[in-house]
Structure 1
Amino acid sequence: MSLRASDVVAGDGNARIFEGGYRPYRGIRLGVGHSVWALARHTIERIMGLKRPARYKVLPFLAVLIAYLPAIAFIGIVALAPPGGGRRILDFVPGPGRYYGFITAAIILFATLAAPEALCPDKRSRFLGVYLASPLNRTTYLLAKAIAVGTVLLLVTLGPPLLLLIGLALQNHGPNGFSDFMGTLGQILVAGVSLSLMFGAISLAVPSLTDRRALASAGSLLLILGSGAITGTVTFGLKGPRNVLALALNRLPFELALRIFTLPGLPTGPEREFGAHSPPLSTAVVVGASVAVTAVAAAVTWWRVVGLEVTR
């Protein structure tokens, strides 16, 4: 005789299961693409501190604000300048191509904060196995994380120069004519995406090696700034070849941005010492080094994530 649930009384307070049953999921399956998007959206929220206590929002929003403040200041200067001082103002206010020089620290700071929040919590909590139980595999998992980091980096690599362009155009101090405006807009889009890809790849490499966010942020910052110090020592202190400067990660992305805007590159030595014999790095060297650095950093991250052991 079979027992019903209503016939069983656990007098000692211990519940007992007499039968178990399972039903297959018959709902709509949204596929891998939706899983990638859902994980990317969740990662973006985590990086920016959304749906988290206020202390997690301070640093990311502060870094983004720092990136926009110079653009707001330049637009305000142009708007409040007297009509006769337009030429002097234009000489002082940088164009979108030169604007990255004012927000270098904000971009580097934001990149070193964003990537550890994307990878380290999953590694530390050993949550990767849960994601792999979904339609995601290791490659699509890493793709979602890369999309999230690249998207938030666009806030500081694309948004500020775009705001500057629009603000100057509204004050009649922007590009001359529609074609020039669209050309500059295209350069901003290419430069913003390129810097986002480079800094995203570089800043994800170090967090892929550790599960501690503070260590990953410090390591990424040390890698970016330390490469500049080492290459500077080799080039200027030891009189090495100038092309070594292409390996300075705090310099290379902004060199690439200048090339995209068809502007002269950064000098490769102190003017008082090198004078006219201090030409910028060639465009071929800058582009080649940018592609190589991005590819190597992405390969390191992929290698570490693919080889990550899943324990649960």
Structure 2
Amino acid sequence: MQADQSQTRQPASGAAASIHNIGYRSYEGARLGRGYARRSLFVQSLRGGYGLGRSAKSKITPMLLAALMCVPAVIIVAIAITTELRDLPVDYREYAQFLAPVIGLYLAAMAPQSVSRDLRFRTVPLYFSRPVERADYVVAKYAGMACALFVFTATPLVLLYVGALLGKLDFGDQTADFALGLVSVAVLSVVYAGIGLVIAALTPRRGFGVAAIIAVLTIPYFAVTTVQFIATEQNALNAVGWLGLASPETLMTGFQAKFLGGPTDFPGAVVPSDAAGICYLLVILGLAAGSYAVLMARYRKAGL
């Protein structure tokens, strides 16, 4: 019996015997760190805002909405050139107000796509298992959504500006108004991106996020506008400017009318007072900072 055991313990010999070295080596490549990871997440979020890097189906909605955003600008330029107008019929600072429903649809479609998938499929902890910190994730997502919105809203302004120069309109006036228009849509992008991401991050259900964003952007606007008309009928014009603080769209209207010299669509063409203007600035800063704080708190729990 012992002889048999000793025979079975003998190593194999001949052609069937081989030794494989499967030892691990330490990583000797470049360690790119948190900065690279943060930039990569930002670029991925920005590209995702237009379906880039995803299936063709994912590109349909953002590209269609982008086309709807730009078509009126092309028509306005064509009319201005063919009729030899001395100025564009639509101000750069009010273009986003006219296309507010399209901007709302874009935000409602793309903000949940940016964050809801990570929450629904529980991939957030995988991000945080890398050098990426919670603040890196929030900043990258916020900046990506804001930049995607800025590209969405600024592109038609660029078309208007190029068309105005081709139509030989006054270069100085057009350049100054175009710059103020870019400031207007930049502020709008930061505010709307924060609102959209906060709402989308509260639920992993994309459909709920879409409906909630549309409701937050539309219901307060119609309510505020109705009350503003009532205040105008009561000759309480000072209240019209203060009421504009109560909805995102009227907030942006009052801001650009007060600080950027743009036209106002408030009833009675009211421009907010100096005191109300300070409150507009504070509310805009508060919305941006508050959105960041809420997202940080949300992902403190989601990252567990």
Query: TM-score if structure 2 supplies the norm length?
Result: 0.82
Between the aligned partners of 1:236 and 1:296, the Cα distance in structure 2 is 30
SS of residue paired to 1:57: helix
Between the aligned partners of 1:29 and 1:226, the Cα distance in structure 2 is 49
Matched, 1:200 2:202: no
2:66 counterpart residue number? 64
Change (3 A) 1:308 1:93: same
Between the aligned partners of 1:233 and 1:112, the Cα distance in structure 2 is 24
Pairing 1:84-233 to 2, within 5 Å after superposition: 86=85, 90=87, 93-173=89-169, 175-177=170-172, 180-232=173-225
CA displacement at 1:260 relative to structure 2: 4.4
Change (3 A) 1:143 1:57: same
- Counterpart of 2:271, as a letter, is P
Between the aligned partners of 2:299 and 2:227, the Cα distance in structure 1 is 33
Between the aligned partners of 1:61 and 1:151, the Cα distance in structure 2 is 16
CA displacement at 1:208 relative to structure 2: 1.4
What are the Cα deviations for residues 55-99 of structure 1, in whole angstroms up to 9, with x where unaligned? 211111111111111111111112222x5xx35xx4x71121222
2:286 counterpart residue number? 292
Between the aligned partners of 2:121 and 2:79, the Cα distance in structure 1 is 49
**Contact (CA 8 Å) 2:92, 2:178: kept in 1 or not?**
no
2:249 counterpart residue number? 250
Between the aligned partners of 2:229 and 2:92, the Cα distance in structure 1 is 30
2:270 counterpart residue number? 279
What is the percent sequence identity of the aligned residues? Answer: 23
What are the Cα deviations for residues 106-152 of structure 1, in whole angstroms up to 9, with x where unaligned? 11111121211111111111111211122201110111111211111
Change (3 A) 1:7 1:128: farther
CA displacement at 1:198 relative to structure 2: 0.8
Between the aligned partners of 1:93 and 1:217, the Cα distance in structure 2 is 33
CA displacement at 1:168 relative to structure 2: 0.6
**Contact (CA 8 Å) 1:45, 1:51: kept in 2 or not?**
yes
SS of residue paired to 1:293: helix
- Counterpart of 1:201, as a letter, is G
2:56 counterpart residue number? 54
- Counterpart of 1:152, as a letter, is A
CA displacement at 1:309 relative to structure 2: 4.2
SS of residue paired to 2:177: helix
SS of residue paired to 1:153: helix
**Contact (CA 8 Å) 1:32, 1:135: kept in 2 or not?**
yes
Between the aligned partners of 1:163 and 1:123, the Cα distance in structure 2 is 37
**Contact (CA 8 Å) 2:94, 2:263: kept in 1 or not?**
no
CA displacement at 1:54 relative to structure 2: 2.1
- Counterpart of 1:226, as a letter, is I
2:4 counterpart residue number? none
What are the Cα deviations for residues 243-274 of structure 1, in whole angstroms up to 9, with x where unaligned? 1331111321233233443124332x4x5xxx
Gaps of 5+ in 2: 1-9
- Counterpart of 1:36, as a letter, is R
SS of residue paired to 1:142: helix
| Number of aligned positions between the proteins | 284
Matched, 1:303 2:297: yes
CA displacement at 1:235 relative to structure 2: 5.0
**Contact (CA 8 Å) 1:36, 1:140: kept in 2 or not?**
yes
Change (3 A) 1:3 1:160: farther
- State the superposition RMSD in angstroms: 2.9
- Counterpart of 2:209, as a letter, is A
Single out whichever of 286-295 and 113-122 deviates more from structure 2. 286-295
What are the Cα deviations for residues 32-66 of structure 1, in whole angstroms up to 9, with x where unaligned? 11111111222233332223222211111111111
**Contact (CA 8 Å) 1:266, 1:280: kept in 2 or not?**
no
Gaps of 5+ in 1: 10-17, 272-277
CA displacement at 1:232 relative to structure 2: 4.1
